[in-house]
Amino acid sequence: MFSAQTYQDRRTVLKSSISSGILLFLGNIENPVNFEHNPYYFRQDSTFLYYFGIQEPRIAAIIDIDENKTIIFGDELSIDDIVWMGRQETLKEKSLKSGVSETLPYAELPKYILKAKSANRKVHYLPPYQSSNKILLSDLLGIKIAELQPSVEMIKAIVKQRSVKEAQEIVQIEQAVNVSNEMHLLAMLTAKPGIKEYEIANAIQHLAGNKECGMSYPPIVTINGGILHNHYRLNTLKNGDLFLNDSGAETAMGYAGDLTRTFPVSSTFSTQQKEIYEVVLNAFENAQRLLKPGMKFKDIHLKASQHLVEGLVDLGLMKGNPKEAVQNHAHTLFFQCGLGHMMGLDVHDMEDLGEQYVGYTEEEPKDTKTFGLKSLRLGKALESGFVVTVEPGIYMIPELIDIWQAENKNAEFINYDKVNEYRNFGGVRIEDDFLITNDGYRLLGNGLIKTVEEIENYRKEHLS
């Protein structure tokens, strides 16, 4: 945990931006796998972590703006619990570390909410993503799940605050990134012909675990990098494959890292692999240089797309004017997703609170229709203190190529004959994490090898 003062200060800022009512914060539970008492690992809700820092299931908190009170609700261990789970720090003790002196049994929460509602006071709450909290909110408020109405006022205030990272949060994120760096170096040493994809996933999770880190998301470790969210891991690596590793660590406090590297299973890139890789790398480096306060991330995304097109024109896969190609979304045959997203206590930071608030503004809302842009999670102007990923890529998806070609879609920009030579190419993505600073950006962590030469040299040196 950070200091009690940290959590108090954060709550003070939040309180000052909400006019009246009660702010309700629900922690997560231990979610059952195949029966109630066989749970998945516990992960506290990120907003709860941000304002209270307590990593314990089945607790909740309220900040009562009207009465200027903060209360944590939860149950102390019974002697039965202590027999089964051992003596632990009490909730009272944990709450004090969060700067909260008042705790009440969990059963008092419904009463508190009922009383507030009877007095016609507003109860602010966030959009629930775990089903248990959907049920809980429905019960607490006496509203059907489908009719829950999260507080936009509360969401906006929290997004504003959590978007700008404190120095101590940056330290945590860099810790996550540095462990992620090690995971990626290990993957580069583990990946060789005959190895299964899941062996690499297991190895990097083992490494992270021994540094007291979890995974900030299910790792994508695949020889089919063209599949964007590929969680199939039973393939065997062979010479000639391109291996894509999109994985990041999560620190014990909950902060994420998120990196991607793509490298050949053979000791060196093939010419085709190297050419595509360098197109992506060039787009990456140009995008990185554009990071600064005031710059709209959507514009960086479009610039990066243009750099990808320029490279693909050079290779003969595309043709015509790159700017016009991007305006016509022709690049989305190869780059179907977004350039990046916010990162912090969540790998897609605050995604549970709603992309429209985290990544966009009311004046410039998200384009939810256009293929490509509808997958861009972040479009708005950057601010100092934001942490973002930059992750351009080129993905060859046979199904998509076939559909576009059958429609002759964007034929003025795409050389389908040439593209078909790449249909089993797979995909290349390069991703790093950046802090937006007053005058630009700073790469988070100690840096991870990225050029063709660096990757080939590293593997040559370390693979026997």
- Give the footprint of a copy of itself on this chain (CB under 8 A): 31-41, 43, 45-46, 79, 82-88, 129-132, 134-135, 145, 198-199, 201-203, 205-206, 209-210, 212, 217-218, 224, 226-232, 234, 254, 336, 345-348, 351-352, 397, 399-400, 403
User: What are the structure tokens assigned to 131, written together?
Assistant: 């089903």
Q: How far is the CB of 421 from a copy of itself (least distance, A)?
A: 20
By beta-carbon proximity to a copy of itself, the closer residue of 33 and 69 is 33
Closest to a copy of itself by CB, 18 or 213: 213
CB of 208 to a copy of itself, least distance (A): 9
Report d(CA 67, CA 48) in Å as an integer: 21
Closer to a copy of itself at the Cβ: 104 or 148? 148
Minimum distance, C-beta of residue 451 to a copy of itself, in the bound complex (Å): 29
Provide the minimum distance between the beta carbon of 36 and a copy of itself in the complex, in angstroms, as a whole number: 5
Residue 101: Cβ within 10 Å count: 11
Ramachandran sector of residue 197 (left: φ over 0; alpha: ψ -120 to 50; beta: rest): alpha
Q: 55 and 44 in contact (C-beta within 8 Å)?
A: yes
Residue closer to a copy of itself (CB basis): 227 or 295: 227
The DSSP code sequence of 42-92 is P---HHHHHHT----SS-EEEEETTTTEEEEE--PPPHHHHHHH-----HH
CB of 42 to a copy of itself, least distance (A): 9
The 3 state secondary structure assigned to 325-390 is: HHHCCHHHHCCCCCCCCECCCCCCCCHHHCHHHHCCCCCCCCCCCCCCHHHCCCCCECCCCCEEEE
Closer residue to a copy of itself, CB minimum distance, 206 or 442? 206
CB of 55 to a copy of itself, least distance (A): 12
How far, rounded to the nearest angstrom, does the alpha carbon of residue 227 sit from its chain's CA centroid? 18
* Cβ distance to a copy of itself smaller for residue 203 or 390: 203
Q: How crowded is residue 239: how many other Cβ atoms within 10 Å of its Cβ?
A: 12
